[in-house]
Amino acid sequence: MRYGKRIRLLMMIFFIWLFGFCNSLTAFTLEEIKQRGLIQCGVVSSIRGFASSLADGKWEGFDVDFCRSVAAAVFGDADKVRLVPVTDETGIVSLQSGAIDLLASAAWSRKRDVALGVAFVEPLIAGEQGFLARDDYKYKSVLEARNITLCTVDDSHYRNNLEYYLRQAINDSGRDIRILNYPDMGQAATAFSNGRCELLFGFKPHLAGLAVALSSPDKYGVLEETVSRELRGPVVRKGDSCWYDIVRWVRYGLVMAEDFGVGRENIDTSFRVDEPGIKNLFHHNRYSASIGLAGDWLYQVVSQVGNYGELWERNIGTKTPLQLDRGENKIWKNGGVFFYPLPDSLL
């Protein structure tokens, strides 16, 4: 009887170790990343402000900075990341095959979340789907047009939403509504600028980024008309809860740092970092080891890349060519929807 209790106790300890902490048996993605020495991160490319390559081969953008944030958390070095150009759909395929470890941002849908073997972590940006038009576009709504051609990416999520929105117009025999699908938004934007279509359909913040890259960007504008809401966020493969937790807490950490008023410029001087709870959070996070990270992972993220607000303002904010207002993408106390669970290090 005494030996039976010991066996049960040992089994309990084993299962707590196996499932309660990241280790070589459960954190296979993290182990592969550490052996490789960098994170392979997919980004929807050629969209100014989100992910675009510069002449010197370097990348910049909101999604790029999220990839760099995860690298800073894992390695203490934001540059240990390889950026892989993808679309939403090819990015999910690349995740499934193991070609990438993380898709920085994709449109969140029920099918993608439950049926494709991938897991959406947390929203990184909320917005709307709509249209980019030239300044001489005359309709208040595409539904008013009798004859019109629209360009978009060949993506079932966007295609289905657009066709559903236009269903009555498409079925009207007196109208000629055409949809041209392209492999990626960059090619769709080129076709639009070359006059192949009157409207470009997509995620409105992305449309703003595509517009500023066109010649004479002031001749284009994103219409108020909205087809659908859209949440975009990082995606990982299902089955590795440790890697999921790491990516999720990097997203939480970016928002948390902004909420505490700690950013890249003041992280070493802010009086708040000297508060015992916040100091522990940034420098001696006691639960970091349970997900395979060092105790100062959040310090590394914010000191090298910034907090959520800094990522936004630097890449797509009101002082950039995109001039995007944060709206609902503000943190909770400023009227937005971005929040985080209470960090135990403050207790």
- Specify burial of residue 74 (Cβ count, 10 A radius: 0-12, 13-18, 19+): buried
Does any domain span residue 5?
A: no
Distance CA 159, CA 167 (A): 12
Does any domain span residue 203?
A: yes
Provide the domain limits for residue 198: 129-223
Task: Please state whether 76 falls in left (phi above 0), alpha (psi between -120 and 50) or beta.
Answer: left
Does any domain span residue 193?
A: yes
CA 339 to chain centre: 16
Kindly report the pTM of this predicted structure.
Answer: 0.89
CATH of the domain at 168: 3.40.190.10
Does any domain span residue 284?
A: no
Does any domain span residue 210?
A: yes
Asked if 40 and 99 touch (Cβ cutoff 8 Å), the reply is yes
Does any domain span residue 181?
A: yes
Does any domain span residue 38?
A: no
State the Cα angle at 29 between 124 and 84, rounded to 5°. 55
State the Cα angle at 252 between 250 and 257, rounded to 5°. 95
End-to-end CA distance of the chain: 41
Does any domain span residue 200?
A: yes
pLDDT in tens, the chain (347 residues): 455 554 444 444 343 344 445 655 456 899 999 999 999 999 998 899 999 988 888 999 999 999 999 999 999 999 999 999 999 999 999 999 999 999 999 999 888 989 899 999 999 999 999 999 999 999 989 999 889 999 999 988 898 999 999 987 777 777 888 999 999 999 999 999 999 999 999 999 999 999 999 988 999 999 999 999 999 999 999 999 999 999 999 999 999 999 989 999 998 887 666 676 677 778 777 778 888 999 999 999 999 999 999 999 999 999 999 999 999 999 989 898 888 887 665 54
- What's the total number of domains in the chain? 1
Asked if 340 and 298 touch (Cβ cutoff 8 Å), the reply is no
